[in-house]
Amino acid sequence: MITYILISILLILFINKYMFKPKGFPPGPGRIPLFGSLLFIPLIPGVFSMGADWFIKRYGKLVGLFLGEYPAVILYDLNTAKELFSQDNAAGRPDSFVYKYRMLGQKLGLLFNDGEAWKTQRRFVLKTLKDFGFGKKGLEGVLVEEADKIGDLFRSKQNEPFLVLNLFNVAILNVLWTIVANHRYDLTDPNAQTLVKLITDSIQVEGLRFLFAVPVSRHFAPEWTGWNKQQQVVGETQNLMRRIVEEHKESYQEDNMRDFIDVYLREMKTGGSPDFNDEQLIVNAMDLFSAGSETTATTLAWAVAFMILHPEVQKEVQEELDREIGDRTPALEDIARLPLTEATIMEIQRMGSIAPQAVPHRTLNEVKINGYTIPKNTFVFSMLYHIMRDPEVWIEPERFNPRRFLSPEGKLVKHDHFVPFGVGKRQCLGESLAKSELFIIFTRLIQQFTFTDSPDHPGPSPTPVPGFIMAPKPFYARAVPRL
């Protein structure tokens, strides 16, 4: 009898913990042990972002579910995301073994770290990057140089079609590499291509969503879940960054701060804080390149795609550039006089939705929102893809229309739901650099070339390839010189 009672109690506790949801939790699909809610939702790529309608029709714009044993909340409403992410209690990062492995088993870096250690690193990194021209006019020359190198590469094609796949990655990598490691690569350098592939692979590993939700799956399905690939890519990237740091140590000179790594090494030597060490530096460098190169390069690939798909917009942008700039090199100070061009860049970002969801947050304490209770240690995802295509907010959201960002007088206007860099306390720290990169490189290339498709090769499609970074499907383009 006692055994029966004990088994019954344990069964009740098990069911309560692993099959019922916490009191006041937002509505959402059911859950079962081990898998959480995964078996109750469509298992298709991009289900949370591109499949937003499935969730919203059933549960609304605030959805509660379980990723394995982890409670999670999906946000499809901008105001809710702003309110929640403005709170310190929602500024954490998921305590996932996938992230910990990338952080050398510790809480390191900028992307997946939280707490005081993260704040300390973020402050130092931002200050140091700004000192080296990050987001300032001093970096403009580097951007123009990279844009012109891309232009030289296009001219070398002699109007022949080329594959727009990782086309801009090395140029964008060079901008960051100049600041972080005082080095640039030739656009066709095999070493640069290897580094680009590492960064791309680290972001786009297939199966990570399931691995994230069901960690035990790495033991019986390491290939299918992407765990083998993740270990390989992260290990190679860490080794590369470690080698670069060691090279800097060997050539370090106290009176000659060449780049971010040198300044960080100086802080390690003189600052006296244990928070500044080799491991932090390695993960910081990984985070800067992962977050800062792939996203902007993919946006530029989308820019080529949308200019080919909408030649009338490309022509209007070129006419504005011809009228306002002529044949001189565009500068950041020209943004104000090029409203249509800037609106076109914004529409490329909106339609491309390169980061369909912001990096997930974690609640550090219980949070109340919209009458619901979100428990401590809940993962929170904001779906930027839907927010920037919400039919309740945007007119004809699936139509490429830069003029949605212009007033009747042709002035650039802000749109609250245009949030390609996220919202809240953990908004992308590279926003200012990304905006500068996109403006200078896009305007310089559109000024010099007209992009067209090739009848004998696959052209661009507005439908993205689902993933952590939404890239266009591989396509070919021709760059016809104008100047």
R_g of the chain, CA atoms, integer Å: 24
Residue closest to 365 by CA, chosen among 376, 349, 351: 376
Task: Give the separation between CA 265 and CA 271, rounded to whole angstroms.
Answer: 10
DSSP single-letter state for residue 334: G
CB of 434 within 8 A of CB of 428? yes
Entry field: residues in the chain: 483
> Does 219 appear as a known binding residue?
no
Task: Give the separation between CA 160 and CA 221, rounded to whole angstroms.
Answer: 44
Task: Give the separation between CA 180 and CA 289, rounded to whole angstroms.
Answer: 9
CA geometry: angle 182, 185, 186, nearest 5 deg: 145
Cα pseudo-dihedral 289, 290, 296, 300, rounded to 10? 110
Mapping DSSP to helix (H, G, I), strand (E, B) and coil, where does residue 186 land?
coil
Instruction: Kindly report the number of other CB atoms within 10 A of residue 110's CB atom.
Output: 22
What's at 434, amino acid-wise? A
What's at 421, amino acid-wise? F
Mapping DSSP to helix (H, G, I), strand (E, B) and coil, where does residue 481 land?
strand
Distances (CA, A) of 265 to 26, 135, 177, 370, 403: 46, 23, 17, 46, 48
DSSP single-letter state for residue 28: -
One-character DSSP codes across 242-267: HHHHHHHHHH--TT---SHHHHHHHH
Query: Long-range pairs for 135-142 at CB < 8 Å and ≥24 separation?
Result: 135/432, 135/433, 135/436, 137/332, 139/175, 139/179, 139/433, 139/436, 140/331, 140/332, 140/436, 140/440, 142/174, 142/175, 142/178
DSSP single-letter state for residue 164: -
Binding residues: 428
Q: Which residues are annotated as a binding site for heme?
A: 428
